[in-house]
Structure 1
Amino acid sequence: MTNNQVAALLGISALLAAGQTLFKVAALKLKGAGEASADMLALALIPSFWLALVLYGLGTLLWIYILQTVPLSRAYPFMALAFVMVPLLAVAFFAERLNLTYIIGALLIVAGVVVTARA
């Protein structure tokens, strides 16, 4: 894989992670909106929800672009990096805590992506 392909794959993971973070922002705002029946209407009025969808859309377009030149079996392991990025963003933006077990697992995921990228 070229450096540009790796950068695009990292960018896709980052877009997905940012989208998940924005979905959490929307969920927190929705939680304060009231009744469950009004949830869908209230969700449509939350800007972070729409921004998350845009980021997911951009990530999808970039994914399709990168799959034109990178085999799926080589590209897909990079999606696992979102499992590392999202909790780190949760710590930064929502004051969530991570334990040692998570840190070990995240390091194993990163190591796995590095190994598969070099295969």
Structure 2
Amino acid sequence: MSHHDPQHKAAKAAEPLSERLLERLRRAPRVVLPTLRHHLPVVPDWRCRDCAQPWPCPSSQDHLRHEHLTAPATVFQYLAACYTRALTDLPAAAGSTLHERFLGWLPRRQPHNRTPERRYGQ
């Protein structure tokens, strides 16, 4: 069945979203952000290629924090994919520890603090 085949497309659409998302996440860590050329992760032990610290190391965090300013969704998706893969690669590590390591250091967006009156100019 070709990927252009309507039956193939229908079968793909029938797959649960979570399965399709998980499959994309499993493949995603192999592709890095275009400007992240140093301090890359070495899998399956998730250590930095350049400094051997647990990845993301401080240098990669600095770089990714800078990328996050202009492309927050891309950085978050990349790190979420890495986190998902690390859960499999590092089964002895606690999930909450890995979550903090991969995602917990990202800057959080501030919620909009607008009341309905301010939103509509009343």
Higher relative helix content: 1
Under a length normalisation based on structure 2, what TM-score does the superposition of the two structures give? Answer: 0.26
Higher relative contact order (CA 8 A, sep 6+): 1
Bigger Rg, structure 1 or 2: 2
